[in-house]
Amino acid sequence: MPETINVYLGIDLGGTKIAAAAVDVRTGERQVQLVVPTEAHEGPPAVITRIASLVDRVCDQANLRREHVPAIGVGVPGVIDPSSGTTLLLPNLPSGWRGVPLVAEMQRLTGRPTAIINDARAFTLAEAVFGAGRGMHSVVGMTLGTGIGGGIAIDGRLYLGLDGTAGEIGHMTIDPNGAPCGCGNRGCLETFASGPSITAMGLRAVAQGMTTQIGELVEYDLNKITPEIIMRAADNGDGVAREILQRAGSYLGVGVANLITILSPDRVVIGGGVSRLGEWILGPVHAEILKRCHVTPLNRVQVVPAQLGGEAGVIGAAVWAAQTSGTWH
Ligand SMILES: [Zn+2]
């Protein structure tokens, strides 16, 4: 079946949604994409069964026989053991999925070779091969959301380090004496510039009675404060909101500057929900890079927004399946 041999299944497992697509890995085009709720409270076995039946539905709609799918790739939001194909910790899913044999279960249920990859690494791979890093020698990917994830791709292949964790850029130390991070360290980049940390800065400003519109914009229901609300206040000229975004963007810029100094990459590709704050965040990032990088030829490094949007996850997972199943050239 030469027509279908390049079509792989890519899955993006999230805390609230599972997306699955049939992806032509020569072009990055998705033939069919379906999304279902994760229903993570039902536990790993039920969720894995749901993923497997989603695979069947995607195959049906793409007119693809499951046995003609060369391999399935699954992007997961957390830490995995690539050698055993188990999840070690998915912090946003109930129970944390410690030691769940995801690869073995998927292969048992679908009969197809399966590969798993961290979701930020899948994002990086997709952007490096088909998105904003296409054709570039070296690409650093960053996803700014609930956490800060990332990845490093060289010539369209991920650099994963010893155990798959290379690219965990959210956990680089930015302030040695900073606030505790969920990983066990203090002052990680994630504690300064993730969605929840930006929200927390807005909350604190309102709670401290600072002169800001942030409280007013959520009618003083402080649970409704989000980075987007803070951006709206900043757009309206709110000085406190502008300072919060400036602060988050500057810390992020310190992190990006460190990456540029270490890797001298062709492209740094920034995606994820927080990146929608646009210039409020990217402006300070660029300023910080100029201030801090003095040995790298900055005229050759581009820091750019992601191009593939929310679809990068499924595309990257499919490419990962192709690259690890030995059919990628
Ligand atoms: Zn950390």
CATH number at residue 19: 3.30.420.40
Residues 302 and 316 in one domain: no
Residues 47 and 184 in one domain: no
Residues 44 and 119 in one domain: yes
Residues 23 and 82 in one domain: yes
Q: How many separate domains does the chain show?
A: 2
Ligand 1 midpoint to CA 180 (Å): 8
Ligand 1 midpoint to CA 323 (Å): 29
Residues 162 and 25 in one domain: no
pLDDT higher than threshold 90 for residue 314: yes
Ligand 1 midpoint to CA 189 (Å): 7
Residue 113 belongs to a domain: yes
Q: CA 315: distance to chain centroid?
A: 13
Residues 239 and 209 in one domain: yes
Range of weakest confidence among 40-49, 208-217, 258-267, 275-284: 275-284
Ligand 1 midpoint to CA 190 (Å): 6
pLDDT higher than threshold 50 for residue 1: no
Residue 129 belongs to a domain: no
Kindly report whether the global pTM for this prediction surpasses the value 0.85.
yes
Per the structure, the complete domain to which residue 54 belongs is given by 7-124+310-324
For 252-268, letters b (16+ CB in 10 Å) and e give: bbbbbbbbbeebebbbb
Rounded distance, CA 171 to CA 181, Å?
8
pLDDT higher than threshold 80 for residue 85: yes
Rounded distance, CA 100 to CA 250, Å?
38
Ligand 1 midpoint to CA 311 (Å): 26
Q: Do 322 and 8 form a contact (C-beta atoms < 8 A)?
A: yes
Ligand 1 midpoint to CA 129 (Å): 28
pLDDT higher than threshold 90 for residue 3: no
Residues 69 and 200 in one domain: no
Residues 87 and 182 in one domain: no
pLDDT digits (tens, 9 = 90+) for 110-165: 999 999 999 999 999 999 999 999 999 999 999 999 999 999 999 999 999 999 99
Residues 188 and 238 in one domain: yes
Ligand 1 midpoint to CA 169 (Å): 9
Ligand 1 midpoint to CA 242 (Å): 25
Residue 182 belongs to a domain: yes
Tell me what the mean pLDDT of segment 211-226 comes to.
96
Tell me what the mean pLDDT of segment 215-242 comes to.
96
Residue 131 belongs to a domain: no
Residues 227 and 201 in one domain: yes
Cβ neighbour number for residue 27 with a 10 Å cutoff: 9
